[in-house]
Amino acid sequence: MRPLAVVILLLAISTVYPEVAHAQSSVIVGRVESAATGEPVEFAQILVQEAHRSTSSDERGSFLLRHMPSGAFTLQAYRIGFFPLEIPIVLVPDDTLRLTLRMRDSLIESAEVIVEGDRDGTQTVEPLSELEGSRLRQHLGTTIAETLSQEPGLSMRSMGPAPARPVLRGLGGERLLVLEDGGRTGDLSATSSDHALVIDPITADRIEIVRGPAALIYGSNTLGGAVNVVRDYVPTTLPDRLHLTISGQGQSVSRGLAGGAVVKAPIGNNAVFRADGTYRTADDVNTPDGRLGNTALDTGTGSVGASIVRPWGYAGVSGSLYDSGYGIPGGFVGAHPDGVSIEMNRRHLRTRAEWVNPLRGIRHLDIRGSYSRYFHQEFESNGLVGIEYGLLTYDATAIAHTRGSGRLEEGAAGFWVEYRDYASGGFSSTPPTTEWSMAGFGYQEVDLGPTLLAVGARYDVRRVAPSREFESDIGMVRARDFGGVSASASLQWPVTTGMTLGATAMRSIRLPGIEELYSDGPHLAAYSFEVGNPDLGVEVGTGLELSSRWEGQRLSGSAAAYVNWFSGYIFPQNTGEINTRIYLPIFQYAGADARMEGAEASLTARLSDAWSLSGNASYVRGTLTELDQPIPWTPPFQHSVSVRYEQRALTVGASLRGSSGQERLSEFEEPTDGYLVPDLFGEYILTTSGTLQTITLAIDNVTNTVYRDHLSRVKSIMPEPGRNVRLVYRVYL
């Protein structure tokens, strides 16, 4: 069966499975009020995590959750100035549960509540999907990319374990925003496959995937979506007491060890302190064919932050550091025989404030600012610096979250400004360059009866200016100005109880980066001679998507099919030539028209109260239509199926993940074979007085199968890691 047909089959199940069409659902109607005064509490975030449902209370303290599945759940409520509230609920099919939630003011002592991860009640947008709790611990890897690699539509670009970066629907690099607490990371991970992302996942609260019109709040180039790692560096809520989370992680495939701790504590009655620290170390990775040399890593991170939290909102600041050293393996075409070593660090300061009800019609105003200093060095095996990069980044964002009125639901409008100062040394010939970027954006939801319309728009401008203008081998190196409009609209309408269909149209722009415009020399760790193009224009992408989400008593899932067209798709084209002076393959940045189409689906069947069966599949096909060639580095059809047993504190399961071979190749690209890899996992949760402990054990690649990932730059010399036993221990105090 063709890969696309498999995904379409899963989509079709939603319309023929009788239980979905007639699934019974429940409704929760409630009011949030102050336990001390009885006054309504507005803007409280209401969450039923197990059912993936959330909302917020209005100015009267009222809230409504529709299309809730039946069963036993835990309802949580969060609000600045109040202690978190957590209550058990039981939902009966075709029934309405009415609740009154009485939240205690943060100045009053409250009963002890254990919450695995506090959710920011003022988050900008609601994510399409997220990885948290047990699923986050089960898939926790060395990097964010490895942690997300088994999610539908996601794959992983890698050049060894440390610099892995996520790829969403075939879009990676500069086309996929990876954010930290909703802000830019200030690193260079998007520009090259050897550059690591400055985020360690071990202390992440959750990882969100945002798509559609709401993604335009984060950036213009979000045709596939955005990934947001939530840490709460600047604390936004006032805890009732000191909370401490300690995590430990180990894995056998690289004899890797990692540890992390997060502490959050109240300071008096209206301030909060937060700090965290992590350390990760690993040796070279073992594969079924032997050891992949020069892939060891050592990474340390730390942060401190504090906020004032009052009924009017909060204001806080944080500082963080990231230091890492890792290896890039050698032994393939263009690579140094012994590989390359990289040392990088980032120093980051950020501030954030929220003002509740600043003006009529505005629910709250969110203001953020940050400063980042990033430094990166690449060392040859003899210890000499081959190339180095420095990047200073300043940015600021202001977002006004508007109050609903009539058919207008909640919305947001704001602006963003960023200044970057870039320099490189060693064998790099990219000139020192400054970059100014600014954008204005808006997002609005409209209630059209049973149908929900969401629209978003954004206008970006950027000026890129080298330190001097000059004529070079690549053309006239000069200042460039770019700009353009991004926009999106989506419709969501319920066709039956528990089932929703959706349609999204989107236009996005991608503005050329410094390296794509001005590079002209060797990039040591990427094993390539990079030639920029100072005449590159704006890449424009247009996309259409049809989707379906359904929730039944026994069956739930989602599916989507999409097509994206690109004008001026920017990519490094392998010229097939070798720079004879340093024996590196030459890559020339170019722009060409392109098209990407694909589909993805996920399905979960609840076989009983304890047993469930789930699966997902994703497929993308990319073509450079102007050149009549496949887009390089396009992931093949991917799929997985898993069975899970969950009873009280114990969860165990097994999964089988796989991929088809990739033979649609661009020039000079290597094919890869298909594979099937079995995994095992289990978790036990131990609750004692005031303490929650989780022990998660996973065995990846149980059969030590030899397989290669198509997006790996080192697949020609070594396969993916072999059998790996992973242990994650976490305690919440």
The tens digit of pLDDT for each residue in 675-690 reads: 999 999 999 988 777 6
pLDDT at 113: 32
pLDDT at residue 267 above 70?
yes
CA distance 447 to 141: 40
Does the pLDDT at position 360 exceed 90? no
What pLDDT band is residue 333 in, cutting at 50, 70 and 90? low
Q: Name all domains of the chain by residue range, CATH numbers in brackets.
A: 3-103 (2.60.40.1120), 129-732 (2.40.170.20)
pLDDT in tens, 572-584: 988 888 877 777 8
Give the CA diameter of the chain: 79
* Confidence check: pLDDT of 344 > 60: yes
Give the pLDDT mean for 295-323: 94
Q: What is the pLDDT of residues 686-718, one digit of tens each?
A: 877 768 888 999 999 999 999 999 999 889 888
**Which tops the pLDDT comparison, 3 or 39?**
39
pLDDT class of 11 with cuts at 50, 70, 90: very low
Give residue 128's pLDDT band: very low, low, confident or very high (50, 70, 90). Answer: low
Asked if residue 560 lies in contact with residue 545, where contact means CB atoms within 8 angstroms, the answer is yes
What's the token pair of residue 542? 């247009």
- pLDDT reported for residue 432: 95
Residue 217 phi, psi (nearest 5): -65, -30
Rounded CA gap, 130 and 119, in Å? 12
Could you list the beta-strand ranges (E) of 582-700: 584-606, 611-624, 629-630, 638-647, 650-659, 675-688, 691-700
Give the pLDDT of residue 106: 58
pLDDT band at 56 (very low <50, low <70, confident <90, very high): confident
pLDDT at residue 500 greater than cutoff 70: yes
Give residue 625's pLDDT.
Answer: 95
Kindly tell me if the per-residue pLDDT of 125 is higher than 80.
Answer: no
Q: Is the dihedral of CA 647, 11, 206, 707 positive or negative?
A: positive
Q: What digits encode the pLDDT tens for the residues 431-446? A: 999 999 999 999 999 9
Record the tokens describing residue 428, joined without a space.
């790099």
pLDDT per residue as tens digits for the range 513-532: 999 999 988 887 888 889 99
Place of tokens 């039944």: 552
User: For the chain, how many residues are written?
Assistant: 733
- Residue 12 phi/psi, 5-degree rounding, is -70, -30
